[in-house]
Amino acid sequence: MRTIIAGNWKMNKTIAEAVDFANRLREKLAGKTGIPEVIVAPPFTALNPVSVVLRGSAVLVAAQNIHEADHGAFTGEVSALMAREAGCTYAIIGHSERRTLFGERDERINKKLSAALAAGLHPILCIGETLQEREENQTERVIERQLNEGLNNLGNDDIEKIIVAYEPVWAIGTGKTATPSQAQEVHRFIRGWLAKRCSGELSQQTVILYGGSVTPQNAGALMSQPDINGALIGGASLDVESFVRIIEYQFTQGV
């Protein structure tokens, strides 16, 4: 099973700051073995410059979002083809901030997944429940709906290219983190859903990331869970030293 550590920079870093970060990250990871696959998701303005810096390294680049259309009169939007041409291998789709702040619903997220796949990008599908939904014991119902509607009409050949990221909305940017057992419980549910919807083999091969206030201090405990295959990191990915410590979590547990 692959392990992936992805950093979502959100609306942070100028081009100069992003390039400096990419250079420093490349330098710190050069020659290291036994570490997870690493992905960074800069803002759109820095996608190409960061991709150029990281070309030939072990670090891959993701878009933070894409539009579902290939082209057209969609002011301010970026297509999957544009992101791919800018140097992206991955695209984050359905992040809770896109769902809550920009009103993106599962039907649109499904279209974005199809667009990403058609352009040759590997989607990182974000799913997760709000605090109210968790307190009302609706977590599994919400996760199941997001998976059913988000992956609607996609075959196994498409789904096997998708990474799933479980990000409880109540833990994103709040400093609150699901306990390792809470996170594992949902990851196990996701893997079980994939086994029923697709196949046991595909379920076991799917990378499922955890996101929500991941830090160097809690990364090891979270990723030691059997169904957690890495992390999608926000704030802690903005600092090179912090991000590298998480990437090297298997060597720094207990720090």
- State residue 104 phi and psi, 5-degree precision: -75, 130
Name the nearest CA neighbour of 85 among 47, 41, 39, 42. Answer: 47
**Residue 230 to residue 2: CA distance in whole angstroms:** 9
Residues recognised as catalytic: 95, 167
Residue 137's Cβ-side half-sphere holds a number of Cα atoms within 13 Å equal to 0
**Residue 97 to residue 104: CA distance in whole angstroms:** 9
In this structure, which amino acid lies at residue 163? I
Task: Count CB neighbours of 201 within 10 A.
Answer: 11
**Residue 85 to residue 166: CA distance in whole angstroms:** 28
